[in-house]
Amino acid sequence: MAGKVFFSVTMSLDGFMAPEAVPVEYVFSPEGHHDPRAQRWLAKWSELQAWLFPQRWFRENLKLGEGGEEGLDNDIARATYERTGASVMGKRMFDAGELAWPEEAPFHTPVFVVTHTERDPWERPGGTTFHFVNDGIESALLQAREAAGDRDVRIAGGAETIQQYLDSGLIDEFSITLAPVLFGTGIRLFDHVAPDRLTLDQTHSDASSRVTHLTYTVAKR
């Protein structure tokens, strides 16, 4: 039986999942390392994701050393990883990650990149292979489902790719980690999604001392 299609993101209290002023692929480029605008973007993004960095699972997965926090946040981060049999992402997320990820990319499963660029599969140490899909989001999802088997498919991002899958009715479930930070401007998670096409049911609400994790199921109207 095929698993679920889901996404999980961290969102600011005022509804943004990323700063907007600088293209994310530029932030991690050699030029961006010396650009104050890119550094401000990275500082804001780091503040948004600050709940995750000290978690034991995160440190283990990126080989940052022993130790780390355990508890609700760690359990949720680990469970998200363990349920994922394959991931789908957009080209912009891949472009940024290709610059920022360590040699052993942190997925350890097949990843399908939705792009117009033709490229041979890119295999990394640790079990991650990136496959480049040129014929749309549905084709990428079909290939990811096949690769995932009974496990779930995660739509990893970025925002535009998640929005496309939501608007196409292809998401079964999603989780938002609500962080106590304010951006004011940036990339909103639900921009360009037709609200009258989806019905949401909240299935979980779990709060730690750092963030609140909200989980919803999605149904077409």
What domain count does the chain have?
1
Output the tens digit of pLDDT for each of the chain's 221 residues: 579 999 999 999 999 999 887 888 888 888 888 899 889 999 999 999 999 999 999 999 988 888 999 999 999 999 999 999 999 999 999 998 998 899 999 999 999 999 999 999 999 999 999 999 999 999 999 999 999 999 999 999 999 999 999 999 999 999 999 999 999 999 998 888 888 888 999 999 999 999 999 999 998 77
206, 194 Cβ separation under 8 angstroms = no
Cα Rg of the chain (Å, integer):
17
- Please tell me the predicted confidence (pLDDT) of residue 106: 93
**In Å, what is the CA distance from 11 to each residue of 38, 178, 189, 203?**
20, 5, 8, 18
- Please tell me the predicted confidence (pLDDT) of residue 29: 85
Domain limits for position 126 = 3-218
- Cα–Cα–Cα angle for 143, 100, 47, rounded to 5 degrees: 105
CATH number of the CATH domain containing 60: 3.40.430.10
Cα–Cα distance for residue pair 141/153, rounded to 1 Å: 8
Question: Which neighbouring-strand residues pair with 175?
Answer: 8, 215
Residue located via tokens 């999603």: 174
Cα–Cα distance for residue pair 69/91, rounded to 1 Å: 32
Helices 137-148 and 159-167: crossing angle, nearest 10°? 90
